[in-house]
Structure 1
């Protein structure tokens, strides 16, 4: 009996401390889980810490910053805003330059595609090669002051340009008085000294005074006709770079009509000729005879009298600018060279071993409209029918007594004085 009481379950429970400890742990764990859901040593979350920091900074800022400091901060903010606006402006300008560069690249690519495009030849007599080079993309950065003047003076991106100094004052007056009489608005005198600039301003003549340039400026002030004539190739380049086509004119020229009404504009260079008839002006087959060669004694040569470098229309193309560069370079390195000879050599000489010729299109002007003084005094004035023609311009390039002949030409063609040209010899004797 006693043994069976000792085996009862109540007697076993009281005797197991492990079971009691486990039960107590579970009980207290449940209590703490209920009372402290975030843990007994919980820390605030990152968001709460950030909010607390902001509130503490705001409190400290409000407490510490004075009105003077706030004003300083506002001033700095304004300064940074101005700098930011300036940077944005620079970025826009850079973007525009990049766009212009890309346009130039696109133009070159289009030209290459046009030239390189393979085409089938059309029927006999219908095939025409390319004649006109595209104009260059204007670059106003070359000469902003000149660009501003040209915008006011030029018409359809073209104008007459003449270089002059005080040595030719009287001829210059005859030159621009006849231009005004004809009613040509788009012309400009490049004054090479202060006296010429003052004259043009006093006579209401569009004028551009070049900035001083050492040796170039001294040539402009004191140089004769040939020195000034050579200088014009350097000056002319800026006009073309700015995108303007130029009718370059010496001042020993009398204008009787508007030349822009008689240009073809289908070539890089369109020039008057020194030829005095159709053969010499437009070209001919000149046969050279060498009897010692026997059967092969006759050699055929192609001849043309030179273009006059004192009156030509030049378009704003790369080929035209290359021509100016070539001529200016040779004249600066070959002091004894004549500008008109160099002008024609670079324009006409073909490519050959050791030399790349200029790929420029050229046209000879009508010799009866754009007339030289040899043709006038040797032929036209003696022919009753030719006297009835009215030239566009007459260039007194063959004679030294330029001013007297210019005035006589005005008397004959403008004032109708029939004997105005009679007192002059054919030549310069």
Structure 2
């Protein structure tokens, strides 16, 4: 099953059949009804992320396979710059002869991050910047690796770490999970070379994020909890920035609990240490984690939805002003989370409304979000004729219909 455009339901049916398991067996092992699984396979319903992880575990396949994330260069149809980035990341070119302008590189990395978090055309704009920027930042590190100027060497590693943070989320969003894991690992190495405890924690947060995306729940939890301990050992007097990073890591740990269906532990981690850290840190964007009380609220919605408490999730969502978030991705993801809540209740008018909200927040995001595209496919199959014009219009805008 090579194409990323094959609906998730068809993928689940294919791998369930390949594993020689009936719908009744898979549904029972995943803790869902046989009718619900049948609707997923027929494309009438879209599985929540936690259900997708359960189904992947039952059928012993990676989550990325069910989502249809492309993993190789020939599958880079979602965004052609991915193949270019792969070549840049693996070229290991010789160090430039000229000394790098670190102030300029820092400004360019910060500009790219600003576009990624704030521009509605972020995929297009960032894709135009990152190949050359990656080549030059990696060149700067090679030039300064053995420099006697310890401060310049450290600054180069810090800049490369921050760029790898950006590349981790960019490559993940365009479907190159292999590259995302590569740059997440490089970010950890760069942060350690910079001897920067806060950046090391942020790098571990990025690594845990991609491990979560690949279904490595235990690995992500281990990285998050160990990083919290390491940060407290390195910096025993907690600052607001440290609190923000610890809180972001606690939210990762909460997600891992939810993926295991340990919803009480997920709630405890969100309502306890993550909430406490948010009070200390306030609203912020330390190393682009966008952690603060609002982000804790967004994760509360996710935890309740995973627990099947859709009414509670929507109650919490109604009290969040997501427009305060500096991140387009967070605003778009929130709108999709709410859309999925309403999808569980099959309230199609509300699903369409929140899909439109997601599209307004990040029009390019909806095109690159596999689960969002599957949500639209489900609506195309099941929505009443009254709603079909709106659904078809969204489908055309994100490339599902001509």
What TM-score, normalized to structure 1?
A: 0.21
The TM-score, its normalising length taken from structure 2, stands at 0.22
User: If you compute each CA radius of gyration, which structure gives the higher value, 1 or 2?
Assistant: 1
Would you tell me which structure has more strand in proportion to its own residues? 1
